[in-house]
Every structure is written in C-alpha cells, then in structure tokens.
C-alpha cells in the first residue's frame, strides 16, 4: 500500500511536469513564465520538493525491502522458470526503477542545478525578465548524446509505469476479473502516451522545429 500511494503521488507529478514542459511548443513566453511562476511559489515550492523527495525515498526504500524479502523467502533459485502471466516490465521493476533514479539525478544536475553545461550560465533573461528556460532546453537537447540519454531514461520510465500505473489498483485491494486486465491495458497506453509526450520535446529540437530564442 505504501508503494502504491507513493507511486500515485509520483505519477501525478510526472503528468503535471509533462503538461508544464509541453508549453515549449507554445513559445518562450509560456514556458519561461511558467518556470518563473513555480519559482515565485518560494517556500511552497520547497515544501512540494520535500514532499516529492520523501515520496521517492519511501517508494524506493519499501520496494527494495520487498525485493529482499522475496529473495529471502526462496533463497534457492528455481531450476526451471516459465512465466505464465508476469510481463517483462513487471519482472524488472527494481532495475528499471533504479535506472530512472539515475536519470532523475542527472536531469536535476542538468536543468535544475545547471552544472553539466557551462553555456546555461551565459543565457540572458528573456524580454519579460524571466530566466530563458526555453533556450536552455533547446541548447541542452541539441546535443545528440544528451537527447539519447533522455530517451533511454524515458523508455525505462515507460517500462516502469506500464506495470506500476495499473498494479497499484491491486495493491490497494481492488481486483476484478473483468476490470483488472482492462486496467493493465489502460496502464500500458497511459505509459506510452507519456513517452510520446516527453520524447516529442528532444525530437522536435533535434529536427530543428524548435530553435533557441537567443544566440550564444
């Protein structure tokens, strides 16, 4: 139940964050203004950040405890394994989750703390006086390696959510012969929609559809 509740909190964040990021397609004023609004929240922003951090830490701690307990319950490996129902995604939740964590740590260093690319410090404020998040994202994703790393990270997030986004119903006690398989399909569609939404940003930048608002 703890894993399910913290997972839902993180899913709500991932959906909200995507909607915020998609404003890059509406132009610099939108996304730069949005980022400024978030920063203007001041102490409330820090409260939200701490809340999310707590959700991530608890989610990881409890899932790793569960994985250890599972292993302890059967120290001897099976001689022969044949999976009837468990999907690839559901069998690799720990590894996909840990790689997503590595992606988030890099992502925070990249776009929030901005220590991985010295050019970001050279960006001037936009005409409305806001930090130019728009150009930062464009310059960031114009690097093929960075974009490729994001797409791999997003793929693993998709794998993780394609199982996690529907399995929380079962963890919270909801199990129905008819509805549970439909929720599993819905969970997979939801995860792939997120993948398309997020990857549209680096892909549009690499294809030259979105150009920086200022030259460096």
Nearer to ligand HEM, 137 or 184 (CB): 137
**Least distance (Å) between residue 145 CB and ligand HEM:** 15
**Least distance (Å) between residue 170 CB and ligand HEM:** 22
Nearer to ligand HEM, 157 or 184 (CB): 157
Enumerate binding residues for ligand HEM (CB under 6 A): 14, 17, 21, 35, 49, 104, 107-108, 111-112, 133, 137, 150, 154, 157, 198, 201-202
Give Cα 134 to chain centroid, integer Å: 19
**Least distance (Å) between residue 112 CB and ligand HEM:** 4
Nearer to ligand HEM, 99 or 183 (CB): 99
Q: Give the H or E element holding residue 97.
A: helix 93-107
**Least distance (Å) between residue 79 CB and ligand HEM:** 38
User: What DSSP assignment string belongs to 12-58?
Assistant: HHHHHHHHHHGGGGG-HHHHHHHHHHHHHTTHHHHHHHHHHHHHHHH
Identify which of 52, 38, 48, 45 has the alpha carbon closest to the alpha carbon of residue 8: 52
Q: How far apart are CA 212 and CA 138, in angstroms?
A: 6
Residue nearest to ligand HEM (CB): 35
Q: How far apart are CA 193 and CA 200, in angstroms?
A: 11
Nearer to ligand HEM, 94 or 180 (CB): 94
Nearer to ligand HEM, 150 or 168 (CB): 150
**Least distance (Å) between residue 137 CB and ligand HEM:** 6
**Least distance (Å) between residue 2 CB and ligand HEM:** 19
Q: How far apart are CA 100 and CA 143, in angstroms?
A: 20
Nearer to ligand HEM, 102 or 172 (CB): 102
Q: Which two tokens stand for residue 83?
A: 């999976």
| Residue in this structure with the two tokens 């680096």, named with its chain if needed | 202
């Amino acid at each position: 139940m703890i894993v399910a509740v913290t997972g839902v909190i993180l899913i709500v964040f991932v959906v909200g964050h995507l909607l915020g990021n998609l404003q890059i397609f509406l132009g610099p004023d939108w996304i730069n203004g949005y980022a400024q609004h978030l920063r203007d929240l001041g102490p409330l922003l820090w409260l939200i950040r701490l809340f999310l951090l707590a959700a991530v830490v608890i989610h990881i701690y409890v899932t790793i405890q569960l994985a250890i307990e599972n292993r302890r319950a059967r120290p001897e490996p099976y001689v022969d394994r044949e999976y009837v129902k468990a999907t690839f995604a559901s069998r690799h939740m720990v590894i996909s989750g840990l790689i997503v964590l590595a992606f988030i740590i890099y992502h925070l260093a990249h776009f929030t703390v901005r220590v991985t690319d010295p050019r970001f410090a050279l960006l001037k404020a936009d005409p409305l006086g806001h930090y130019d998040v728009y150009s930062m994202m464009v310059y960031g994703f114009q690097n093929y390696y960075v974009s490729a790393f994001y797409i791999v990270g997003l793929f693993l997030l998709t794998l993780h959510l394609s199982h996690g986004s529907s399995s929380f119903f079962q963890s919270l006690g909801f199990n129905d012969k008819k509805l549970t398989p439909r929720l599993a399909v819905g969970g997979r569609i939801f995860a792939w929609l997120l993948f398309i939404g997020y990857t549209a940003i680096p892909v549009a930048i690499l294809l030259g559809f979105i150009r920086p608002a200022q030259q460096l």
